Amino acid sequence: MSFTESEERQALRKAVAELGRKYGHEYTLKAARSGGHTTELWNEAGELGYLGVSVPEEFGGGGGGIGDLAAVCEELGATGTGLLQMVVSPAICATIIARFGTPEQKSRWLPGFADGTLRMAFAITEPDAGSNAHRLTTTARRVGDGWVLNGRKVYISCVDESQSVMVVGRTEDAKTGKLKPALFVVPTDAPGFEFQRIEMDVIAPDSQFQVFIDDVHLPAEALVGSEDAALMQLFAGLNPERIMASAYAVGMGRFALDKAVEYAKTRTVWKEPIGAHQAVAHPLAKAKVELELAKLMTQKAAALYDSGDDMAAGEAANMAKYAAGEAVVNAVDAAVQTHGGNGLASEYGLGALVAASRLTRIAPVSREMILNFVAQFSLGLPKSY
């Protein structure tokens, strides 16, 4: 077992951090506050191959693993320029297509994931089916060779920045008549597909959308992979999602902590800089410990996933997501407190992270649902729902 990342992974982290520093938190904040996007950063990271590190080489990707992609996500976050859609487009969508797509689907979509020119949103959450995915009602009917899709989705990130959305729906099992999950790639300009921005109190350069799918006609090849393996496909995509959400959170936490440490070293109210007071230092030290632990668990989950052990990766990825969600909330809280009044001043940009840092506790899977998973799966406790 090694706790040191490969030379290449370390070099990748450095290179990505340099790119992130070139843009800087100011850039992201400015985009966020003006309702804009951080498209230039996405495009440049894509051109450099950073968004396609885990896409197979034969499709123009880097041929690395989810651990490499998570490193990219974390390092951008640590410079205050985190890219939320990394959690979705290259991690969930590209992974599912690379693992389960038909040869045509792979050659059609993977090159775009490799250089970031293709952005795909992912839609599972519905107004009446958030934590409980068994209640999904988005349904596909077979019509001729193709499909007709109907449903509603909420809180779908970055739909406006994406060419298509991978939609989790259901199809009727021909034999039993029961509904089972199925994944469809739906172009965002398909007739009958509409989306509306949800006003959020999160200051971030990406928006969330409500999606209306009304009689959207799709060709047969819009169905990803095999109709019968959708559940497995879904799980294969959700582990990378959790790993990436953890990396995103750890990155943001590192960014907040770095700012706090810098401030605590220089701000002097009495004789010594405020960092000398343990009441200031200890929460920062605690944040450091929690972030390191969350990062370590993220690396473990990624290593397991990349080794092909989906089951073990699932448990680790959930635990990492839990740990990272808590760590980033605490780190941002400590950073704001360290800054006193400045912690909430726009100039320092930390107030903007207060709501953003809560995101990882809620999405893509809530803290409570992770604890449910650990209680049942890891501890074998009985279920309440």
Partner 1 sequence: MPNIVVLVKQVPDTYSERRLSDSDHTLDRDSADAVLDEINERAVEEALLIKEAQGGEVTVLSVGPDRATEAIRKALSMGADKAVHVSDPALHGSCVIQTSKVIAAAVGKVDGVDLVIAGNEATDGRSGAVPAILAELLGYPQLTHARKVVIEGTTIKVTRETDEGLTHLEASLPAVVSVGEKINEPRYPSFKGIMAAKKKPVETLTVADLGIDAGEVGLASATSTVVEAAPKPPRAAGQKVEDEGDGGAKIAEYLVGQKLI
Ligand X SMILES: Cc1cc2nc3c(=O)[nH]c(=O)nc-3n(C[C@H](O)[C@H](O)[C@H](O)COP(=O)(O)OP(=O)(O)OC[C@H]3O[C@@H](n4cnc5c(N)ncnc54)[C@H](O)[C@@H]3O)c2cc1C
Binding interface with partner 1 (CB under 8 A)? 7-8, 11-12, 14-15, 18-19, 47-50, 52-53, 62-64, 68
Q: Which is nearer to ligand X, 308 or 382 (CB)?
A: 382
Is the Cβ of residue 8 or residue 368 nearer to partner 1 in the bound state? Answer: 8
Residue 216 contacts which entry, partner 1, ligand X, none (Cβ below 5-8 A, type-dependent): none
Residue 293 near which of ligand X, partner 1, none (CB within 5-8 Å, type-dependent): none
Residue 256 contact, options partner 1, ligand X, none, Cβ 5-8 Å cut-off depending on partner type: none
Q: Which is nearer to partner 1, 80 or 283 (CB)?
A: 80
Query: 48 touches which of partner 1, ligand X, none (CB within 5 to 8 A by kind)?
Result: partner 1
**Residue 262 carries which DSSP code?**
H
The closest of 143, 97, 103 to 118, measured between CA atoms, is 97
For the CB of residue 7, give the shortest distance to ligand X in the complex, in Å: 34
CA distance 92 to 378: 24
Q: Which entry of ligand X, partner 1, none binds 18, CB below 5 to 8 A by partner kind?
A: partner 1
Closer Cβ to partner 1, 15 or 281, answer by number: 15
Cis check for the bond before 364: say yes or no (omega within 30 of 0). Answer: yes
Query: How many residues in the chain?
Result: 385
Instruction: Assign 173 to helix, strand or coil.
Output: coil
CA triple 68-74-80, angle to 5 deg: 145
Contact yes or no for 250/324 (Cβ under 8 A): yes
User: Of 60 and 130, which CB lies nearer to ligand X in the complex structure?
Assistant: 130
Binding site for ligand X (CB under 6 A): 88, 121-125, 130-131, 155-157, 208, 359, 362-366, 368-369, 372, 385
Helices (H), the chain: 7-33, 39-47, 66-78, 94-100, 103-115, 230-266, 278-306, 310-338, 351-362, 367-373
> Which option in partner 1, ligand X, none does residue 155 bind, with CB closer than 5 to 8 A by kind?
ligand X
* Least distance CB 172 / partner 1 (angstroms): 43
Token pair of 67 as six digits: 């651990």
Give the nearest distance from C-beta 62 to partner 1 in angstroms. 4
Q: How far is the CB of 269 from partner 1 (least distance, A)?
A: 17
| Amino acid code (one letter) for 229 | A
Structure tokens at 336: 């704001």
Nearest residue to ligand X, scored by beta-carbon proximity:
130
Are 86 and 157 in contact by the 8 Å Cβ rule? The answer is no
CB of 57 to ligand X, least distance (A): 28
**Contacts for 118 with CB less than 8 Å, ≥ 6 apart:** 89, 109, 111, 112, 163, 164
How far apart are CB 369 and ligand X at their closest, in Å?
Answer: 5
Q: Least distance in Å: CB of 167 to ligand X?
A: 9
* 273 contact choice in partner 1, ligand X, none (CB below 5 to 8 Å, kind-dependent): none
Helices and strands in the chain: count of H runs, count of E runs:
10, 7
